[in-house]
């Protein structure tokens, strides 16, 4: 009795199927390195640090993973600290980079981009935590959108009459 060995050999159709599935999965699952940019929504009520103790307010920062590199950060916001009053056109975020002592807490104002350098050194170095700060967060309304765009390098520092 002889066995037909063709039964155990992989067919060209099966091999092609697995190659196509692998390619589709690889292309449909983007990574941080592929996109280089992302947004973070920061809610004025739920992502707010209240300066006064409030039993009715639980603070949770908006968080996002960030890869190593240089980023331009901007914000667009429609936040009000009191209904119909007190527009807030800036948001804060925290990103640890131990060897950069001026780069832990950042404030981004609408219309004024900032640049950060994420190096991967420190406690939670590749995570950002975004938030608002208010005396009492309980009546805040609106959302800010932080946009992080990876750029090749920090822009040159400009000072004096050469700045335009």
- Report how far apart the first and last C-alpha atoms of the chain are (Å, whole number): 89
Question: Using 50, 70 and 90 to split pLDDT, how confident is the model at 131?
Answer: very high
Q: Report how far residue 138's alpha carbon sits from residue 45's, in angstroms, rounded to the nearest whole number.
A: 6
Write down all domains in the chain, each with its CATH number in brackets: 34-154 (2.60.120)
The shares of helix, strand and coil residues in the chain, as percent rounded to the nearest 5, are 20, 40, 40
Q: Is the pLDDT of residue 78 over 90?
A: yes
Give the tens place of pLDDT for each residue, 34-72.
348 999 999 999 999 988 866 566 789 999 999 999 999
């Amino acid at each position: 009795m002889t066995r037909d060995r063709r039964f155990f050999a992989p067919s060209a159709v099966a091999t092609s199927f697995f190659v196509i599935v692998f390619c589709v999965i690889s292309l449909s699952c983007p990574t941080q390195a592929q996109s280089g940019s992302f947004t973070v929504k920061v809610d004025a009520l739920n992502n707010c640090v209240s300066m006064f103790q409030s039993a009715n307010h639980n603070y949770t920062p908006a968080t996002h993973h960030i890869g190593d590199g240089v980023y331009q950060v901007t914000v667009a916001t429609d936040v009000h600290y009191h209904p119909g009053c007190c527009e807030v056109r800036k948001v804060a975020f925290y990103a640890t980079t131990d060897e950069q002592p001026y780069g832990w807490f950042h404030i981004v104002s609408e219309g004024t981009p900032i640049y950060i350098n994420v190096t991967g050194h420190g406690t939670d170095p590749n995570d950002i935590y975004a938030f608002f700060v208010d005396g009492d967060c309980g009546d805040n309304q609106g959302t800010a959108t932080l946009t992080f765009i990876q750029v090749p390098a920090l822009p040159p520092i400009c000072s004096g009459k050469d700045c335009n």
